[in-house]
A = this chain, B = another copy of it.
Amino acid sequence: MENQSILIKNTTIIGSDIKKSSLLVESDKITVIDDNLKNIDADVVINGEGKVLIPGLVNTHTHLSMTLLRGYADDYPLDTWLNDYIFPVEGKLEGEHVYAGALLACVEMIKSGTTAFNDMYFFMDQVAKAVEESGMRGVISHGMLDFGDEEKRKAEFKESLRIIEKCHNTADGRIKVALGPHAPYTCSTDLLNWVRKKADELKVPIHIHVSETEFEVQQIQETYGARPFEYLDKIGFLKEDVLAAHAVWLSESEIDIIKDKEVKLSHNPVSNMKLASGTSPVAKMMEKGVNLSLGTDGAASNNNLDMLEEMKIAALQQKVANLDPTVLKAGEVFKMATRGGATALGIEQETGTIDVGKKADIVLVDMRAPHLTPFRHPVSHLVYSAKGADVDTVICNGQILMQEKELLVLDEKEVLSQAEESAKDLLAR
């Protein structure tokens, strides 16, 4: 498998420009992009006619295993949702549920064109097992919470180091491990200081939730006398290796801090809208040159992992919030979901664009559908008209994970039936 070559012929390639061409994958890399390729031999030949070829989409904020809780609690106030539904079930989670939910998420992501993601949850070696089997690329982190409790904090340190030790740089380098302090309101300053130190020492990135709700900002202000990003900056936590999810409630000076410290953001519009958290000032941050990417968050607050849908809703939300239809143009939001995502995950040297020498993380979208007719600006169609179900073929790290809508590595029926059973078992506990 590792040394196979794949030729994708006569397709519309969305690279640094948009052109009709052919592309060769050898081993795990894109080795040639050239019109004259079409007559060469390759182990696998894919006809790209009628399709567009894009970088695999990058989902920069997930809780994969929460697919098991999809549709479990909708339309509730945030505290009811968390305290009466999500937390009690999460308290009963075992590794087997996390594994089944993560596999289900991998099937869903592959089928909708995502090749890389950034996941925070528990039992992360079980997530790593699912990722390894799926052929996808992922950064995973154990979600750490101490609520100021020293015993709990020490246990979180231990578990985080165990996951790094066991999983970092495994699966041919497809799996990386990050440190995952949950949020400034659930983690003590001691915990955050330890994370900062360990991240420097071990050269692993940091994944954290910041400023998701207005209530959280008030809480941090009361506790630390500063807004969340100001507080994190003050304790020296913010560097270019920090990926902050949500970032909804931001002051002007916090936006400047984010920009100056080169913090990466994961914008999560669907989850922020569904939970009524608020509207992140994304258009303004884009103007200032902040590193922006897109994430779906968990399926319990979305309720799917479809990055094509996330792109559309991101653009729509910013346009109406700013009463300006020119903000978050199709090309800009597409960049957030591809190159921006790779940058956020620290893997932009390897992936995120279609270029010779990069890892072959490639998605073909079939444009021969009524809702994509007439064929016109492909990026507009991808952002505003397409759906996950239009994804035709997915390649990650040079391996074909799906071809003509059929999964080749994971067994879809088996994964769905395992997940159905696992969800029943979890809720019956």
Tell whether, in the assembled complex, residue B317 and residue A273 are in contact, meaning their CB atoms are under 8 Å apart. Answer: yes
Kindly identify, within residues 66 to 114 of chain A, every residue whose CB is under 8 Å from any CB belonging to chain B. 67-68, 70-72, 74-78, 81, 104, 107-108, 111-112
Q: Given A76-B325, A387-B387, are A320 and B371 also a contact pair (CB < 8 Å)?
A: no
- A277 vs B320: C-alpha distance in the bound complex, in angstroms? 7
Copies in the complex: 2
Tell whether, in the assembled complex, residue A329 and residue B273 are in contact, meaning their CB atoms are under 8 Å apart. Answer: no
Tell whether, in the assembled complex, residue B317 and residue A320 are in contact, meaning their CB atoms are under 8 Å apart. Answer: yes
Stretch at the interface among A17-25, A35-43, A298-306: A298-306
Tell whether, in the assembled complex, residue A71 and residue B377 are in contact, meaning their CB atoms are under 8 Å apart. Answer: yes
Tell whether, in the assembled complex, residue A274 and residue B374 are in contact, meaning their CB atoms are under 8 Å apart. Answer: no
> How many residues on the A side are at the interface (Cβ–Cβ under 8 A)?
68
- A112 vs B376: C-alpha distance in the bound complex, in angstroms? 21
- A75 vs B68: C-alpha distance in the bound complex, in angstroms? 37
The reply to whether the CB of A323 lies closer than 8 angstroms to some CB of chain B is: yes
Tell whether, in the assembled complex, residue B320 and residue A370 are in contact, meaning their CB atoms are under 8 Å apart. Answer: no
Tell whether, in the assembled complex, residue A75 and residue B107 are in contact, meaning their CB atoms are under 8 Å apart. Answer: no
Interface centre among A72, A325, A387 (most CB of B within 10 A): A325
The reply to whether the CB of A171 lies closer than 8 angstroms to some CB of chain B is: no
Dominant SS among interface residues on chain A: helix
Stretch at the interface among A135-143, A184-192, A237-245, A414-422: A414-422
- A380 vs B71: C-alpha distance in the bound complex, in angstroms? 6
Min Cβ gap A316→B in Å is: 4
Tell whether, in the assembled complex, residue A275 and residue B371 are in contact, meaning their CB atoms are under 8 Å apart. Answer: no
Tell whether, in the assembled complex, residue A320 and residue B272 are in contact, meaning their CB atoms are under 8 Å apart. Answer: yes
Tell whether, in the assembled complex, residue B387 and residue A270 are in contact, meaning their CB atoms are under 8 Å apart. Answer: no
List of B residues within 8 angstroms of A329 by Cβ: 74-75
Tell whether, in the assembled complex, residue B370 and residue A71 are in contact, meaning their CB atoms are under 8 Å apart. Answer: no
List of B residues within 8 angstroms of A68 by Cβ: 374
Min Cβ gap A163→B in Å is: 26
Q: Given A78-B325, A322-B276, A325-B275, are A416 and B313 also a contact pair (CB < 8 Å)?
A: no
Kindly identify, within residues 366 to 409 of chain A, every residue whose CB is under 8 Å from any CB belonging to chain B. 368, 370-371, 373-377, 380-381, 384-385, 387-390
The reply to whether the CB of A412 lies closer than 8 angstroms to some CB of chain B is: yes
The reply to whether the CB of A32 lies closer than 8 angstroms to some CB of chain B is: no
Q: Given A74-B330, A270-B316, A385-B303, are A370 and B104 also a contact pair (CB < 8 Å)?
A: yes
Q: Given A77-B326, A303-B384, A326-B77, are A274 and B319 also a contact pair (CB < 8 Å)?
A: yes
Tell whether, in the assembled complex, residue A70 and residue B304 are in contact, meaning their CB atoms are under 8 Å apart. Answer: no
> Contact partner of A380 among B74, B279, B316, CB < 8 A?
B74
Min Cβ gap A146→B in Å is: 28
Min Cβ gap A372→B in Å is: 8
List of B residues within 8 angstroms of A112 by Cβ: 371
List 7 A-B pairs, minimum CB-CB distance, nearest first. A389-B389, A273-B316, A374-B423, A108-B370, A303-B384, A273-B320, A276-B325
Known contacts A270-B316, A274-B316, A274-B384; 6 additional CB pairs below 8 A are A70-B374, A108-B370, A111-B370, A273-B320, A276-B325, A277-B320
Supply 18 A–B pairs (Cβ within 8 Å), ascending by A.
A68-B374, A70-B373, A74-B329, A75-B329, A77-B325, A78-B325, A274-B315, A274-B316, A278-B323, A279-B320, A303-B385, A373-B416, A373-B419, A374-B419, A374-B420, A387-B387, A387-B388, A389-B389
